[in-house]
Amino acid sequence: MRAMQGRWLVCALAAVSVGIAPGVGGRAADEVWEIRGQVRTTLTGTGEVVVLELADGRRLEVPVAAMTEASRDRARRTVAAASGTAATAGAPPAAGGGRTAVGSDVAAQLEAVALTCRHPRDMANLCRVVLADPTLTSAQVAELQDSLGRWTTLAAEGKVRRDKVWVPADEVEKGNREAESLVDHAVELMRLGNAKLVMESLEKASRVGVTSVRGDFLAAMLLLLQRTPDFAGAANHFAEVLQRQPGNAAALNNLAVCEVMARRPDLAARHFRKALNWTGNGQAVVDNVGFTVAAANIPRTTGPKMSAKALEEFNGLYRTMAQDLGMKARAEAGGLTFIGLKGETCAAARLTPSEAITLAGDVTSEAAREGSWLGVVVAPGRVITVADAVISGGRLTVTTSGDRPIPLEVQEAALLDGTGLAVIECQGLKAEPFKVAMAAPTKGVAVRAGGGRRKPLLAIEEVVAPGYVVPSAAASDAGVPLVIHDAAIPDEVGGGPICDDRGRLVGISVPLPVIEGSGRFRAGIAAAVLEAIGLEAADAAESLSAEDLETRMNEGTVIVSIRRESEPPSTPVGERPAEPVAEQSPP
């Protein structure tokens, strides 16, 4: 189905590259290291050790001698190309900052990244961020300006991505409706017993649907019902769901289950971990991890055993669940468990066609998605957050920071056209609003930016870091002004504040795709766009200390979460076996 095998392999490799850091924060020894996928920035290193900066902002020291030959050469080329000049403490960094320059094949990198973006606005903003790099050649600048013009035009025309082409938004909705109709027809064909036509209908649903995921989800479940379950084929379909909805907890869990059953536990642990971050009720994930740990101790007569390294990763994950979250695997679970698009669960050993249909949900399944983002309080009861928090439906809540945070229900939500932001209204919100600076900060101005990392059960670890505004002629181009800065915040979670030294809000962080070298800068939508909702500029009396500024930012930042309208049934869809089932081979 649209070369899904290749797509899944890319997804699998990306998971490995992000999770290769047993020595994060220290030296990674006794390993053979290979740089795969997107390492956002390579910092200058010594002749023996190179320091890598991962996408979440963590740094990893890797001995050059422990790298594969190809990765060693790549690291050396990068270090040689960097300026090697460290920034003077307390002053804006020198041009280049000692980090990786943007790769020479800018156009090719942009086209590759575009396949992961749904909206051309994100690509336009990426071009504007990369154009801030003072080390660009004139040829690279020309390429980026051409690309910026193209993405800006597509955004103005309201286009969105459909596979490798950009189409009007109404075509996307039309395709999604057709996909839903094809899935419903496939369900009817299942009743008639024509398996060939069922799969053909689901394959077509996957082709015509742009954001619809039910076709691939149901196809995956049906491949698991074959006399000899096709774990690899099912994993391909779940990976396709994740191409469209990267935070789909059900697909992440089910992909991990397929990997456990196909004896790929190294990948499964990472997907289980991510699934736990994207759900408000992770009991099924905990059950799966606990079962995998227990089953690894069962003697095997055939096939490979789980490696010591994979078992250690699973054990560490389960320890986090039991000690940090207070969640333990239930004895009655008895085996691996699949999760449906609406949160229903079904024991893998008791999966039937009717239960597969239930797990794949219906046309309302999109509203069952969950997730969390940051938001900033800009007026009493009014919060600005990223658009992703409101476009998926579901029940929105706002949680303030504090010792006993209490989620508050959102009354209204609306998109701020063309910005990638949304405004929500929430009664009873007592957080102190930020003062807003409508004038964009000039180059070299010190700022503090807020970002976050996803944690289990929709929690977010907030991070505040200092930086400076980066000069860029493109920052005010393309309609929506940006604040481009070099504060080293993780941009996994958008919606955090960007403040000047007086504590005034000058921008709202937005996550963007990256290309080689672009990770040295971050970006936010300038607070000037908030004039559209009637906010006015406010003065602040004087500069704040770093400690007071960080406290002020934490007080005005909230967590915006999408939760299911109702909890999934307490009784699982399928009857669970009381004991581990022989058909479920231990890893």
Model pLDDT for residues 70-112, shown as the tens digit of each residue: 565 555 545 444 433 333 334 554 444 434 556 667 878 888 8
pLDDT recorded at residue 297 = 80
Whether residue 414 lies inside any domain: the answer is yes
Tell me: the pLDDT tens digits for 491-509?
789 999 999 999 999 999 9
Residues 247 and 337 in one domain: yes
Tokens of 150: 């193209």
Whether residue 197 lies inside any domain: the answer is no
Residues 435 and 511 in one domain: yes
Residue with more model confidence, 410 or 471: 410
Q: Which residues are 453's β-sheet partners?
A: 461
- Residue 252 and residue 274 in contact, taking contact as beta carbons nearer than 8 Å: yes
Tokens of 29: 């020894």
Residues 337 and 476 in one domain: no
Whether residue 189 lies inside any domain: the answer is no
Q: How far apart are CA 232 and CA 217, in angstroms?
A: 14
Total domains present in the chain: 3
pLDDT exceeds 50 at position 572: no
Q: State which of 35, 52, 81 marks the end of a domain.
A: 81
Q: HEC states along 486-534?
A: CCCCCCCCCCCEEEECCCCEEEEECCCCCCCCHHHCEEEEEHHHHHHHC
Residues 356 and 394 in one domain: no
As a dihedral over the C-alpha atoms of residue 242, residue 246, residue 252, residue 256, rounded to 10 degrees, the angle is: 70
Whether residue 224 lies inside any domain: the answer is yes
Residues 377 and 513 in one domain: yes
Whether residue 30 lies inside any domain: the answer is yes
Q: Please report, for the domain that includes residue 224, its CATH number.
A: 1.25.40.10
Residues 335 and 393 in one domain: no
pLDDT exceeds 60 at position 251: yes
Residue with more model confidence, 574 or 244: 244
Q: State which of 81, 101, 124 marks the end of a domain.
A: 81
Tell me: the pLDDT tens digits for 182-197?
999 999 999 999 999 9
Tell me: the pLDDT tens digits for 420-458?
999 999 989 988 999 999 888 888 999 999 999 999 999
Q: How far apart are CA 407 and CA 561, in angstroms?
A: 9
Residues 409 and 328 in one domain: no
Residues 230 and 265 in one domain: yes
- Residue 239 and residue 220 in contact, taking contact as beta carbons nearer than 8 Å: no
Q: State which of 24, 46, 81 marks the end of a domain.
A: 81
Whether residue 275 lies inside any domain: the answer is yes
Residues 377 and 363 in one domain: no
Whether residue 462 lies inside any domain: the answer is yes
Reported as half-sphere exposure (CB side, CA atoms, 13 A), residue 79 has a value of 16
Structural domain harbouring 377: 371-563
Q: Is 17 exposed, middle or buried (0-12, 13-18, 19+ CB in 10 A)?
A: middle
Residues 415 and 306 in one domain: no
pLDDT recorded at residue 475 = 76
Residues 497 and 552 in one domain: yes
Tokens of 83: 């300026």
Q: Express as a percent the part of the chain with pLDDT over 90.
A: 52
Whether residue 179 lies inside any domain: the answer is no
Residues 351 and 404 in one domain: no
